Amino acid sequence: MSGAAGLSTHVLDTARGCPAAGVQVELVRVEGKQRHTLKTDLTNSDGRTDAPLVERGMLEPGTYELTFHVDEYFRAFEAAVKPPFLDIVTLRFTVSDTQAHYHIPLLVSPWSYSTYRGS
């Protein structure tokens, strides 16, 4: 199943140049107006969740949201404004290729963020 779809994430603190540990990550599947929480986890010292958010072969086509609760993480950053400018970052994306793995990193600072679809 190495070619089957799964989902992982990685949070990197671009202001300090390090992984962002302890960020709560929430995965939701969106179906019309309904939202189903699939998993909630925390990033580890490498900025990743200990296990994939969805194991390979288990990710179904559809619309999902990844929500990153970065406010608590940035409250501990001395150079950031209090309260932090960014509170929650939500990324909505669509899975269509069930043969490719989806890796969605969040590159975040106290003032901005970016993302991309990795593999």
Residue-wise pLDDT tens digits, 14-36: 999 999 999 999 999 999 999 99
The pLDDT of residue 2 is 53
Q: Please, which pLDDT band fits residue 114 given cuts at 50, 70 and 90?
A: very high
Half-sphere exposure of 1 (CA within 13 A, CB side): 9
Distance (Å, rounded) from C-alpha 7 to C-alpha 113?
20
Q: How many CB atoms lie within 10 A of CB 5?
A: 21
What confidence tens digit (pLDDT) does each residue in 59-74 have?
A: 999 999 999 999 999 9
The pLDDT of residue 78 is 76
Distance (Å, rounded) from C-alpha 48 to C-alpha 10?
5
The pLDDT of residue 1 is 45
3-class SS of residue 68: strand
The long-range contacts involving 28-35, CB below 8 angstroms and separated by at least 24 positions, are: 28/64, 28/65, 28/67, 29/62, 29/63, 29/64, 30/62, 30/63, 30/64, 30/65, 30/92, 31/62, 31/63, 35/65
